[in-house]
Structure 1
Amino acid sequence: MHAINQEYPIDKAIVFLVRRSVDPNQDEKGVIDCVVPSFGISHHAKDLKTVLRDINVVTFAVKIPVTHFHVHMVSIKLRNGASLRDVIDLLEETRRIALISSKDKLSSTAKLFDFSRELERSRADFYENLVWLDSICVEGEWVHLMQAVHQEAIVIPENIDAIRAISNSADATTSMNLTDSSLSIRSSRFF
């Protein structure tokens, strides 16, 4: 949302999170064969507002019986609108966001997890915010998209960058370049 808000100010965002019910090491807490809704607005909007203070956002969440990846369905109302091409170009240019396509057999989180193994990444981690290209649509002032977030991995690059920032060992751009290079983080596309 930050990248979109920088280029095309956001008037409102509505986000639906489909998230794993527990961490992989918490199998005793797992839900089996059920969907657990969080009733009312979930805490995720409040969390988001700690870093993107000016965005009017509400979030809703459900827990499902999986351990890898969350899927977010995001609807963003822009103040001045944008074209589909503008949104795609912006996402392709944004660091740590990668476009994926269901047409390339990346149509589920299970397939994403297998693909990350093929990339030979440590622990099969995806550090990028993965946005399905074929989910992006523009409807007047509204942009809609779906993204897959490997919740265990996506925080790792920012934590590494935060450690460098605290220790004053590198400026932000240098740190992000080092982190992205060492973790083989992509921006743009995986197809």
Structure 2
Amino acid sequence: IKAADLIGNREKIKQIKPTAYTTEQFGLPTILDILAELEKPGRDPRGEFQTATFAEGINEISDLQTGMILEGVVSNVANFGAFVDIGVHQDGLVHISALSNKFVQDPREVVKAGDVVKVKVLEVDAARKRIALTMRLDDEPSTQTKRSDRPSENNRRGDNRSAKPQREKPIGNTAMADAFAKLKK
């Protein structure tokens, strides 16, 4: 009997004695599983697989614009947020504070790798290959995306000996500042 003749043919499958096919390598449970699969061919025991539909025409980081709403797949989850593949060869980061409108202790409570999510582009820094995203679709993109106002490396460490005194520059609203402003209302 050929295997092709057995597929879906319950009568022929019931005539097979599974013990006749057991070996040291393939035990009775394995043979019974094989026979059960021959009865119901094409049945896939896995859950339904969902994939993201990447936006057409958005293939490179340069194609992104702030405010775009895109579909993506969570590629990794870290303590500080989730990385989402939006189809531009560079994953974007959804910071833990932008995963939900509620407080999130652990990003794994909200998303897991493989989840299909909708995100909004908050900021694109093509030079540094960084994409800031939010899952709170009502968030507004930052109006100031310039990063040159950051303190120098020496000032970050609190070492002001070699740094020249600088005038304080007004800092524009960032996505985080906007989020805090909404919470205060």
TM-score of Structure 1 vs Structure 2, range by shorter chain:
under 0.3
Q: Which protein is bigger by CA-based radius of gyration? A: 2
For CA contacts below 8 A with separation 6 or more, give which structure has more relative contact order.
Answer: 1
- TM-score of the pair, normalised by structure 1: 0.26
- TM-score of the pair, normalised by structure 2: 0.27
Please state which structure has a larger fraction of its residues in helix. 1
